[in-house]
A and B are shown apart, each in its own frame.
Chain A
Amino acid sequence: MTTAADILTSESYGNPYALSHLDALEAEAVHIFREVAGEFERPVILFSGGKDSIVMLHLALKAFWPAQVPFALLHVDTGHNFPEVLEYRDRTVAEHGLRLHVAKVQDFIDDGRLRERPDGLRNPLQTVPLLDGIETGRFDAVFGGGRRDEEKARAKERVFSLRDEFGAWDPRRQRPELWSLYNGRHSPGEHVRVFPLSNWTELDVWQYIERENIELPAIYYAHEREVFQRNGMWLTAGGWGGPKAGETVERRLVRYRTVGDMSCTGAVDSDATTVADVVTEVAASRLTERGATRADDKVSEAAMEDRKREGYF
C-alpha cells in the first residue's frame, strides 16, 4: 500500500498538461454551471451557508467572472439555524450583489400548512417550503450541494435529476447520463435539480476550501461550546428543544462537520482550528460525515431514499 511518501509519481514530471484532481473536479463543476446558464430560464442555487453551498457559490462566481452570477439564491430556513451561519449568509449575499429568496418553515407552521413534529426536528419539514419556494419563484433549475459519496441512495443520483411537479424523485424515471452531455429538458411544472459537486468527496471539498482560501462560518472550526448529548451526538443547547430532563449540558471543544439544523446536526470533538487541521482530521476520520453528525439520516436503512422520493434532496 502506498503512503504519503509515494506522492511524487511520474505525473508530477514529464506531463505539463496533467491536471490535479481538484482542477479536474473544478473544471467539471464549472462546466455544469455554464450548461445550466445556457439551457434554463430561471436557475437558483440552494444556499444554506453550509460549506458545500459556499463552495458551489465560489465555483459559480469563477464560472461567470467577470460578469455577475446569473442565478438567484434560495435558502430554506428551518428557524433553527446557527446565528453564525445566517450572519455569513447575509454578508455573502451583500458582498456579491446577489438576490436571496428565503422560504421559512416557521411561516408554514404559523399558518397551519405544517405541524411541528413531536421530536422537534425541523429538517424533515423542509420539503414543503422548498417546493413552495421553487414554485413561487418559478425556478426551473435548482442547484444543490449534494454529493454522491454522502449516502447510498445518492450514489445513483444524476448530475441533472428530473423532478415532477411534486418535486418527487423516481429512480426509474432518471435519465441515463453519458459523457458530459446533460439533458435538461423538462415539461412545464417540472424542474431539474442539478448537483455540480456530484463527484466530490468531503475531503475534496475541504482541500478545495484550503486551496482557494474560502472563508467559512466559524463553527466549522474547533471552538468551545455548551453542548449536551443526544443519540450519541453533541447538540447545541437552545430554544429549539434541548436539553431535556436527564440531558446534561457541558462545555466542550468541538467543531461541526456538517451544518444543517441545530436540532439534528451534531458537533464532533475536535481541536482542528485551521483549514489545514480540518483536512488532516477529515483524511484520518473513521466515520462518514453524515454518520458522525446527522440524526435525520439514521432513521432507517432507506431513510434518504424515501426523503428524496418526496422531494427532499
Chain B
Amino acid sequence: MSTELHHSTPALETGSATALLRFATAGSVDDGKSTLVGRLLHDSKSILTDQLEAVTTASQNRGQDTPDLALLTDGLRAEREQGITIDVAYRYFATARRRFILADTPGHVQYTRNMVTGASTAELAVVLVDARNGVVQQTRRHAAVAALLRVPHVVLAVNKMDLVDYAEPVFAAIAEEFNAYAASLGVPDVTAIPISALAGDNVVEPSAHMDWYGGPTLLEHLETVPVGSDPSDEPARFPVQYVIRPQSAEHLDYRGYAGQLASGVLRAGDPVTVLPSGLTTTVAGIDVLGKQTDIAWAPQSVTVRLTDDIDVSRGDLIAAGPAPEPTQDVLATVSHLHERPLRVGDRVLLKHTTRTVRAIVKQLPYRIDIDSLDRVPDPEALQVNDIGQVVLRTAEPLALDRYAVNRQTGSFLLIDQADGTTLTAGMVGEAF
C-alpha cells in the first residue's frame, strides 16, 4: 500500500446535489477486503495524517514494516488482538460527487448476522472475490444475503487480478458464473469489475494493465449508480411516530402527525387511509421541519396535517394508493441474530415501523441452508445466524407490505419481552 496521499476536493457547494450512498462490503480479510476499504478511504482523502501515523506506529509496535491497513479499520481491542473483525463498522468518505456511508461487514461464516445488518440499509453491496479462487461457497453466501435483503445493486469486485496476470478470461469466467448465480436469486443489477486493491487497479484510478476492460472503476461506479428509488412509482407509506400538539396561544388548534415517509409521495388533497383502523380522510397540509409545503416524499421527515379530527396515534400507518390489509398472521423470512434460539411457542415482541405488538411463534416451516439454498423442513429451532421461514400470530393487527416491494414497511424485529434483546430480523413474505 503506498502512503502517497491522493488529493481530491470534497463537494463544497452547500446544497449542491451531492447525494448520499449507503453501501456494504462483504468478503473476508483473505480476499483483501481491508486493503480495498483502505484503498478507497486512502485515495479519497479520508485517511488523514494523524490516523495514518497512528496506524504506522501501531504496525511498527507489532514488528510490521509497512502500515497494516486492517488496523485502520479494526477498532476494538479484542479484534486487534485476535486479528479478526467481529462487528459491523461504519466508515465515511466523500468525493466531489457523493457522500458515502460504508457498512464494513466481516465475511466469516459465523457472522451472517453482521452481513444481514450491514445489508439492511445498503443500496449497493460489494461482493469481493479472489481472482485465483473464483466463486467459492462464501461468495454464494454473500450473494444470497444481498438478494435476501433486497439490496438493489450488487458489485462483483474480482480482486487480486495482478496475481492472475490481469488475464481477461479469468475475469470473464468468474463474472459469468456469478451473474448466473445472482440471476437465479433474483438480484436485479450486477456489475462486475476487475481490480487489484493492493496495486490500485480500477479501485480509484483506471488500470493501465487491463485495456480490455472498458467499464468504470469501482469508485466511479459508486459515484454514478442511481441512489434511491423513484418515489412517484410507489404508494405512499407514512408511519406515525409522534403527535405534535403545541397547545400554545399561537398554535391553539395545531395537530400534526410527525414521521418519516417510508415510501412514495404525499400531496395536500390526497385521500389517505389510516391503518389499522381503516378510517379515511384527506391530507390538509404538510410541514417540512418548520416550513409549510404541499408535497413531500420518501425519505423526508415531515409533519402531516389531516382534514378530519380522527383518532390517530403513534404506531398508526397513513397510507395512500393501494393499502395493505391489516393482519394478525405474519409469514416471513427471518435472520436469527442471537445466541438464544427461536422456537415454536416463543412469546416475543414484534416491532414493525413505529408499532410494537406482542406475538407468538406459531410455526417454523423451514430453515434455509444459505450455502445450497436448500430448504430444511421443520427445524427444531432457529440458531444464531440461521435464516428460515417463520409464521407468527400477533396480538394486534399490523399493516404489512411484502419486503420485496417495501424494505421499510416489510421489515420488523423480534425482541425478547424480558430483557429487550433484539432476537431476530424479519422480512415479510418469501425469501427469494
Q: Which residues of A are at the interface with B, using a C-beta cutoff of 8 A?
A: 1-7, 9-12, 15, 17-28, 30-31, 34-35, 37-38, 62-68, 148-149, 152-156, 162, 171, 174-181, 183, 185-187, 198-199, 201, 203-204, 207, 210-211, 279-280, 283, 285-288, 291-292, 301-302, 305
Contact = CB atoms under 8 A, between A and B. Distances in A.
B431 interface: no
B258 A34 contact: yes
B87 A156 contact: yes
29 contacts: A1-B43, A3-B96, A4-B9, A4-B13, A5-B96, A7-B17, A7-B96, A11-B227, A17-B230, A21-B98, A27-B260, A30-B289, A38-B354, A62-B290, A64-B242, A64-B244, A65-B303, A171-B78, A176-B114, A176-B337, A176-B422, A181-B411, A183-B413, A210-B14, A279-B14, A283-B10, A286-B5, A286-B49, A288-B50
Contacts of B95: 1-2
Given A21-B20, A67-B245, A179-B121, A3 B301 contact: no
Given A67-B246, A288-B51, A181 B351 contact: yes
A15 B227 CA distance: 10
B413 A178 contact: yes
B297 interface: yes
Interface string B256-299: 00111000010000000000000000000001011000000101
A56 to B, nearest CB: 14
B50 to A, nearest CB: 3
A3 B117 CA distance: 33
* The 9 residue pairs across chains A and B that have the minimum distance between CB atoms: A185-B420, A291-B50, A152-B75, A30-B301, A67-B246, A62-B289, A21-B20, A178-B120, A21-B99
Given A11-B227, A178-B413, A37 B77 contact: no
Contact of A2 (B12, B101, B223): B223
B90 interface: yes
B420 A288 contact: no
Nearest to B297: A17
Contact of A156 (B89, B244, B289): B89
Interface stretch (B25-33, B247-255, B386-394): B247-255
Q: How large is the interface on B (under 10, 10 to 19, 20 to 34, 35 or more residues)?
A: 35 or more
Interface of B: 5-6, 8-20, 43, 48-51, 54, 58, 72-78, 80, 87-92, 94-99, 101, 113-114, 116-117, 120-121, 204-205, 223-224, 227-228, 230-232, 241-242, 244-248, 250-251, 254, 258-260, 265, 287, 289-290, 297, 299-301, 303, 314, 337, 349, 351, 353-354, 407-408, 411-413, 415, 419-422, 425
Contact of A7 (B11, B51, B120, B354): B11
Contact of B9 (A3, A34, A180, A186): A3
Contacts of B99: 21, 201, 204
Interface centre among A17, A199, A211 (most CB of B within 10 A): A17
Nearest to A304: B75
A114 to B, nearest CB: 26
A27 B216 CA distance: 31
Contact of A183 (B242, B247, B420): B420
A288 to B, nearest CB: 5
A177 B117 contact: yes
A23 B289 CA distance: 11
